[in-house]
Amino acid sequence: MTDAGLRYGRASLGLSFGVQGVAFALLVTRIPAIQDQYGISDGLLPVFLAAVPILAGAGSVATEKVVARVRPGVVLRWAQPLVLLALLGVGAGRELWHVAVALGVFGLAVGALDASMNMLGVSLQRAYGRSIMLGFHAAYSLGGIAGASLAWVGARWDLSLFVSYLPVVVVLLPAALAGSRWYTEGKGPAEEAGSGGGGAGEGLSFKLLLPLCLVMTFAYIGDSTVSNWSAKYLQDVLGSSEQLATVPYNVYMVTTLLGRAVGDLGVRRFGAVAVVRGGSLLAAGGFAVVALAPGAWVGMLGFTMLGFGLCVIVPQTFAAAGRMFPENSDAAVARLNIFNYVGFLIGSPLVGALGDAWSYRGAMLVPMGLVLVTLVYARAFGPDPARYGGGHERARTADVG
């Protein structure tokens, strides 16, 4: 693979991450409008919301099987347009079954998209020989900010979902298809000749992957806590105005972008283990500040800390899986990606149940504790993850070899 080919592959994959950030933000930030358009009751809404990550997990499982026969770039090339068309379908429908089908397609395609994007990212990072994964996820954060801003414009001008979504899809779909011409896995000729051989998941020890799966779950429990509860917490617990309550999530997204934009430099300078440990401590400190905050502005400081802390963990978890199973990184990434959705499904109901039964301040201490567990597994992010936990190197050699 030439240097120019790697640069083009990196740029095109960054574009895909950005496009996905826009699409996902346009969906989740317009949930109230989707509910109104289709007359979805408050009781039925959680079913629809839970179905998307569940189906995304199924899509990630299917992708593990598919990439045993075709390259991840092929999966990504077709999954991304499907996500955008499904988003447009959400905006175009009128009957309840219309949105059910559109969200179902969206969920399955997102699972395939997330898995294949991170497979390519891990492969490119291996080819570059230095940390670049955080940069891809920074592009996703930037796309999320753009998508949320576009959603605000649509809501501000009272545009229908279809009118809001159509221009975005018309612009991004051909751009994504054009960029897909340069997808590359960053593999050498010998590796490319061997791609597609063997069964999916051959030689992949789930026992060794489990620490990273737990870290991924805990990180997304923290992320979903911010996404779903920051506005309510600031308004109901810390007494902010309704307008000020919308600020923490925006601040969180901006700090996530900034943290990921410089995170690769931190990994190259200090190593992945130190960056993950630092991020975990900063995120835990953010939850502690939120739980103890006397007022809204201190609470926003806590959410700012959370953005800088959590943003480094997920990209480095994917990268660590690639290092742990270099001969089978695609399958490792696909399985790890499932726990993204597990954390998303658990986080919001967990905090809500604890808040109702106990207190929302106390509920914030639970994701804090879970994020701190990452410190126990931090050595799995090192350059020799086979030695993590002691005595696993022989097991990994047997599994992978």
For residue 281, the number of C-alpha atoms closer than 13 Å in the C-beta half-sphere is 7
- Percent above pLDDT 70 for the chain: 91
Long-range Cβ contact pairs of 271-276 (< 8 A, separation 24 or more): 271/382, 271/383, 272/131, 272/316, 272/319, 272/320, 272/381, 272/382, 272/383, 273/378, 273/379, 273/381, 273/382, 275/312, 275/316, 276/312, 276/313, 276/316, 276/374, 276/378, 276/381
pLDDT tens-digit series, residues 292-327: 999 999 999 999 999 999 999 999 999 999 999 998
pLDDT tens-digit series, residues 38-67: 999 988 988 998 999 999 999 999 999 999
Lowest mean pLDDT among 127-131, 376-380, 389-393: 389-393
Name the pLDDT band for 374 (thresholds 50, 70, 90).
Answer: very high
Kindly report the backbone phi and psi dihedral angles of residue 198, in degrees, each rounded to the nearest multiple of 5, phi listed first.
80, 160
pLDDT tens-digit series, residues 111-144: 999 999 999 999 999 999 999 999 999 999 999 9
- Determine the Cα–Cα distance for residues 154 and 147; give it in Å rounded to an integer: 11
pLDDT tens-digit series, residues 139-188: 999 999 999 899 989 988 999 999 999 999 999 999 999 999 999 987 64
CB contact at 8 A, 143 and 21? yes
